[in-house]
Amino acid sequence: MSAELELTVDGIRLRALVTDPSRSLLRVLRDDLGRTGPKEGCDDSECGACMVLVDGRPVNACSFLALQAAGRAITTVEGLAGPDGELSPLQRAFVEGGGIQCGFCTPGMLISATALLAADPDPGDDAIRDALAGNLCRCTGYQPIIAAVRRAAAETAGLTARRD
């Protein structure tokens, strides 16, 4: 069979022709739509490098059928910066705090942390660790990543407080 898949990726409506229904959302994003931000690590939902948001929910794109994403809004790491390319507070905190070394896990880490801060703008360390529990990093030892999420949350809270 072949089906036309229409979905929104980082705010842009896109179409792809899917000829194999077992094709994953990750393959369509990377190979057909040129969105190579999400990475293939384990390809079976263990490592979280492929994480994207589907209608705001964190999803391992490697194990999500592309056709199930029809009509949904997908957010990849490439959709986190502002329209002018300005990094989100979370991205900036990762860069400035050493939350990135080789960078392979970073797209998934940022997506999981973005979902966390959307649901809970002021998470404690336990909540941050829980939110990142499906994302493996073999470089940083995790501490700088947790600190970066904490710092981004504090910075955003500070901005909100000043506005009030």
Partner 1 sequence: MTEHFAAPTTLDAALALLAADPAARAVAGGTDLVVAARQGRRPLPPSIVAIDRIPELAGAGIDADGSLVLGALVSHAWIASDAAIARSWTALADASAIVGSPATRATGTLGGNLMNASPAAETTAPLVVLDGTVSLRGPAGSERAIAVADLATGPGRTAARAGELLGSVRIPAPASRSGSAYIRLEYRRAMEIAVVGAAVAVTLTSDGAGIAAARVALTAVAPTVVRAPAAEAELTGTVVGWAAFHAAGGAAAASAQPIDDVRASADYRRAMIAVVVARAAAAAIERAAGRPLAVPASRWAPAVDH
Report CA-CA distances (Å) from 123 to 97, 130, 141, 151, 154. Answer: 18, 10, 20, 11, 10
* CB 21, min distance to partner 1, A: 4
* CB 81, min distance to partner 1, A: 22
Give the list of residues 6+ apart from residue 85 with CB closer than 8 angstroms, or none.
none
| Rg of the Cα atoms in the chain | 16
* CB 164, min distance to partner 1, A: 27
Q: 98 or 134: whose CB is closer to partner 1? A: 134
Q: Give contact residues for partner 1 (rule: CB under 8 A).
A: 1, 3, 20-22, 24, 43-46, 48, 51, 57-60, 62-65, 67-68, 70, 112, 115-116, 130-131, 133-135
Q: 44 or 164: whose CB is closer to partner 1? A: 44
